[in-house]
Amino acid sequence: MKPIGNGELNILNRALEALERTTGIHGQVIEQEQGNGQDDRAHERVEIEVNGQRHHYLAETKRVDRFAILGGIKNQFAHYGQAPQALLVAPRITAETAEKCRELDLQFIDAAGNAYLRGPGLCVLVTGQRPIEGENLLLIGQEAKRAGTATHLRVMFALLCKPELLNAPYRDIVQVAG
């Protein structure tokens, strides 16, 4: 079982700070625990307090870069059970992704201050918040690499257009890519 990564804990802490900044709702990590036996991911127990009432969540930090991943996250969260509720934590959730999360009843917070939280005495929906200028939110502690040079991009485009080139000799790929 792996311990929580520093990048994941950093994003969770920033998301909790952003939640307080945008809504005035205070949240804190109360415990870090290992996976639940179904995976080796570490999870954090988070407590969010609203009007004296405490809501407990099992937080999972993930980068959400497309809608398709949300269904998988929702299914994964279904295995956690009812108590505590599952909470998706991400570096950034766009307004469109937030709407999809709401449709799936997938509660989330992000480091920009966007949030969807629902429970007894709690209903929060904040969307459209953008990251602070110059803030670098890395999930795994490494900067994203560039796609490559113009030549790399031409080769990738050629392979996407003609998948049969995948097993072709290098010279054939170069000829098609130009």
145-173 pLDDT, tens per residue? 556 788 888 888 888 999 898 888 888 88
Does 37 share its domain with 102? yes
Query: With 60 as the cut, is the pLDDT of residue 41 above it?
Result: no
140, part of any domain = no
Residues constituting the chain: 178
Does this model's pTM top 0.85?
no
Query: With 50 as the cut, is the pLDDT of residue 81 above it?
Result: yes
What is the structure's pLDDT at 42?
Answer: 53
Distance, in Å, from the CA atom of 89 to the CA atom of 106, rounded to the nearest integer, reads: 11
Query: With 80 as the cut, is the pLDDT of residue 37 above it?
Result: no
136, part of any domain = no
Domain extent for 122: 6-126
Does 116 share its domain with 178? no
pLDDT category at 82 given cuts 50, 70, 90 is low
64, part of any domain = yes
Half-sphere exposure of 2 (CA within 13 A, CB side): 7
Residue scoring higher pLDDT (71 or 106):
106
- Say if residue 70 is exposed, middle or buried (CB neighbours under 10 Å; 0-12, 13-18, 19+): buried
Q: How many CB atoms lie within 10 A of CB 55?
A: 21
Secondary structure E strands in 77-137: 85-90, 108-110, 115-119, 122-126
What is the structure's pLDDT at 5?
Answer: 56
Number of domains in the chain: 2
What mean pLDDT, rounded, does the chain reach? 83
Does 106 share its domain with 68? yes
Q: What is the CATH number of the domain that holds 63?
A: 3.40.1350
Nearest to 106 by CA among 121, 90, 120, 91: 90
- Say if residue 8 is exposed, middle or buried (CB neighbours under 10 Å; 0-12, 13-18, 19+): buried
Query: With 90 as the cut, is the pLDDT of residue 25 above it?
Result: yes
Mean pLDDT of 99-123: 94
Does 118 share its domain with 151? no
Q: In this predicted model, what pLDDT tens digit does every residue of 133-150 receive, in sequence order?
A: 766 555 444 454 556 788
